[in-house]
């Protein structure tokens, strides 16, 4: 389906990115021209393209992938992206990015882990410099796995662009807006929104608000898609129309010394060229960056009793070949009503075959009364027990069964959940922001066990079997 309809984002507080037009829809086939007539009519690669442009395809899947899953776009640019000097290793080495997780560069533990919010650096640091891997699993060379990064930055990228050859970036800003220029156009991404920058796309990040901080999930060998809705039906959760794709926008003219920084196997390489990579005058296809406003998510939940599994809050999923098992799910915990009767309403205590990395964008989290702060993170790996802290449990039980409907407000938490067991990078283990007292939030949980049978109002003693 061709989608040329554009949706205008509301104006914010000024600036060149504050009133951008977007195309809407998830996974649609889009067409966009910055100059009328720049798209070749009737074919992808004519002998001579309009305006003397070069045709260039970018493929997110193999050429022979089934049509329903095939992703590719055609870009019509002033100069092709191949026009650059040879790539060389970045000097000095970045040192804190990983895409191949093994015992030589990471380790693991079943202990619950939590990190406090990381300080914004004092020295000039852009998105690339401030990006570091916390944990991950698998191998980008084998096209299976994921990495979870965090970033802190205080300056815009200057005369350079970044791209990952390893996988898709799902960026979750927590502090400060991001103005992101891509080969398909420009996006403004605020805290409370997310952006997906697919494998191979070049982009540059500017910081209109100054200091910025956030989270990144990178997936190897897969792409995000909307989860199936099953018995929910045709509507609910994240609506396809609320995903926004940029419209064509381009830079022309000479840009001497422009640097491409490419992440390849977890290492960074640089190449110089004399033009901006954002010289795409027109493009069409279904492989493109996109953003989503989390406030548009339509949550579903319990209306009578018990707490629903967190999978009911899945925004995007990267599936594996095994049905129902995700390489990585992106799940949110947004404002919503709690109405369950005779129910412990916060998340239940559990051990999970999946591994869960959580972050907090704003407000508090319903299962942690203290210690889990915006910009912080936690990791509960495969079969590691976790759940509400002592204060949350005691406060919930003290309200009794007569607690009326309650709305969770002023919060936005999220979870990256994976079937793979993550290994943790040494700088995350050694971080001064590691919360070494995390375990103490459960130590106060007391036994409330009683042998009194209170069913039907009786207080009979339960007889022992031995």
Q: Backbone phi, then psi, for 259, in 5-degree steps?
A: -110, 130
For residue 189, what are its two tokens? Answer: 């991404």
3-state secondary structure of 193: strand
| Interatomic CA distance for residues 184 and 372, integer angstroms | 37
- Whose tokens are 């990190």? That residue is 115
Is 356 annotated as ligand-binding?
yes
| Interatomic CA distance for residues 86 and 103, integer angstroms | 32
Is 365 annotated as ligand-binding?
yes
3-state secondary structure of 396: helix
Is 76 annotated as ligand-binding?
no
| Interatomic CA distance for residues 459 and 466, integer angstroms | 21
The answer to whether the bond into 92 is cis (omega within 30° of 0) is yes
Cβ neighbours around 182 below 10 Å, total? 24
| Interatomic CA distance for residues 92 and 282, integer angstroms | 36
Is 406 annotated as ligand-binding?
no
Closest CA to 60 of 171, 160, 143: 143
| Interatomic CA distance for residues 45 and 209, integer angstroms | 41
DSSP secondary structure code for residue 164 in this structure: E
Alpha-carbon 185 to chain mean position: 20
**Strand pairing category for 355-363 and 377-380:** antiparallel
Q: Are 164 and 193 in contact, with CB atoms under 8 Å apart?
A: no
Query: Sign (positive/negative) of CA torsion 377, 379, 380, 382?
Result: positive
User: Of 84, 307, 448, 458, which is the active-site residue?
Assistant: 307
Buried b (16+ CB within 10 A) or exposed e, 192-202: ebbbbbbbbbb
Question: Is 406 tagged catalytic?
Answer: no
Catalytic residues: 307
Annotated binding site for homogentisate: 365, 386
Specify binding-site residues. 350, 356, 365, 386
Q: Which segments are annotated as binding site for Fe cation?
A: 350, 356, 386
């Amino acid at each position: 389906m061709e989608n040329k309809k554009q949706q205008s984002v509301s104006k914010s507080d000024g600036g060149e990115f504050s009133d951008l037009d977007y195309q809407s829809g998830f996974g649609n086939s889009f067409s966009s021209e910055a100059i009328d007539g720049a798209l070749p009519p009737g074919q992808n690669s004519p002998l001579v393209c309009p305006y003397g442009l070069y045709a260039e395809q970018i493929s997110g899947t193999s050429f022979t992938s089934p049509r329903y899953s095939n992703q590719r776009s055609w870009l019509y640019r002033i100069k092709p992206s191949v026009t650059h000097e040879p790539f060389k290793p970045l000097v000095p080495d970045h040192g804190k990015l990983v895409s191949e997780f093994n015992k030589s560069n990471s380790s693991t533990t079943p202990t619950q882990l939590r990190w406090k919010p990381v300080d914004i650096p004092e020295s000039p640091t852009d998105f690339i410099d401030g990006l570091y891997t916390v944990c991950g699993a698998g191998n980008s060379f084998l096209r299976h796995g994921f990495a979870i990064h965090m970033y802190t930055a205080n300056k815009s990228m200057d005369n350079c662009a970044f791209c990952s050859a390893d996988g898709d970036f799902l960026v979750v800003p927590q502090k400060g807006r991001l103005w992101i220029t891509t080969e398909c156009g420009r996006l403004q991404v605020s805290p409370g929104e997310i952006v997906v920058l697919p494998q191979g796309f070049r982009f540059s990040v500017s910081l209109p608000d100054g200091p910025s901080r956030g989270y990144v999930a990178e997936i190897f060998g897969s792409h995000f898609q909307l989860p199936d809705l099953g018995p929910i039906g045709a509507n609910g959760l994240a609506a396809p129309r609320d995903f926004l794709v940029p419209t064509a926008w381009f830079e022309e003219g000479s840009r001497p010394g422009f640097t491409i920084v490419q992440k390849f196997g977890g290492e960074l390489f640089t190449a110089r060229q004399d033009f901006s990579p954002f010289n795409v005058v027109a493009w069409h296809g279904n492989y493109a960056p996109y953003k989503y406003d989390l406030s548009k998510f339509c949550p579903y939940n319990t209306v009578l009793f018990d707490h629903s599994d967190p999978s009911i809050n899945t925004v995007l999923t990267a599936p594996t070949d095994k049905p129902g098992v995700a390489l990585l799910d992106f799940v949110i915990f947004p404002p919503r009503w709690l109405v369950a009767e005779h129910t412990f309403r916060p998340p239940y205590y559990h051990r999970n075959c999946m591994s869960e990395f959580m972050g907090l964008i704003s407000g508090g989290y319903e299962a942690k009364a203290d210690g889990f702060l915006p910009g912080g993170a936690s990791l509960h790996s495969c079969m590691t027990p976790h759940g509400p802290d002592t204060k949350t449990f005691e406060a919930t039980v003290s309200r009794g069964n007569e607690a009326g409907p309650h709305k969770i407000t002023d919060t936005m938490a999220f979870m990256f959940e994976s079937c793979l067991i993550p290994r943790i990078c040494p700088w995350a283990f050694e971080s001064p922001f590691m919360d070494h007292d995390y375990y103490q939030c459960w130590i106060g949980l007391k036994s409330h066990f009683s042998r009194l049978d209170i069913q039907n109002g009786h207080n009979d003693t339960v007889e022992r079997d031995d």
